[in-house]
Amino acid sequence: MAGCSSDSGKPAAEKPQPKTPEAVTGWRAFQQCYVAARGWAADAKPYRVESAITLEANGREGKAAMWRAGFASPTRRTSRTYTWSNGEITPNVEDTYSPTNTSTLVFDVAFLKIDSEQALKTAQEHGGDQQPADTPILYVLDWDRSKNLAVWHVIYGTDRDSAKLRLAVNASTGDFMKVEK
């Protein structure tokens, strides 16, 4: 007796399991975003890297589960941000770029020698250790035109405006710069 069977003798395919949320340092996320940005524009240079607070990671170890990195292409006169989340890079829409815009001052990657973990360590030594243990921490890396260097801003709180403490750390040396007002 012949019949149809839904069992073809092959093992049932397992459902893919969702990735466990991963928190990484700013440098690691930046590197992956930088590769994607260079694929978009060969002359892409960073102007900002920032963490985001999520349920999976609140920045307390110098790591975040989500990072955004902004890049500009001077020859194309456009900018684009990339979001790193759980090992995946998502490009966002292109925008116009002007080299005179102070919020998008590009910098050379060679200035970024200190990772967010090291910036946190320096910040902890200069008042961060006085903050409650459950205070979330944000990280923002950008260019300081007046000092001609890349700066990690370690922000104790959910945003710059309501932060309990904001500290600046030299992204090339790891040296403490100042408490920001």
Domain residue spans in the chain? 24-86+105-179
Q: What string of pLDDT tens digits covers the 181 residues of the chain?
A: 455 555 555 555 666 666 667 899 999 999 999 999 999 999 999 999 999 999 989 998 999 999 999 999 999 999 999 999 999 999 999 999 999 999 999 999 999 999 999 999 999 999 999 999 999 999 999 999 999 999 999 999 999 999 999 999 999 999 999 999 8
- Strand (E) or helix (H) holding 153: strand 149-156
Residue with the two structure tokens 């973990």: 117
The answer to whether 155 touches 120, Cβ cutoff 8 Å, is no
Q: What is the dihedral of CA 33, 35, 36, 37, to 10 degrees?
A: 80
pTM for the full predicted model: 0.88
Burial 56-89 (b: 16+ CB within 10 A, else e): ebbbeebbbbbbbbbbbbeebebbbbbbbbeeeb
Residue with the two structure tokens 């080299």: 99
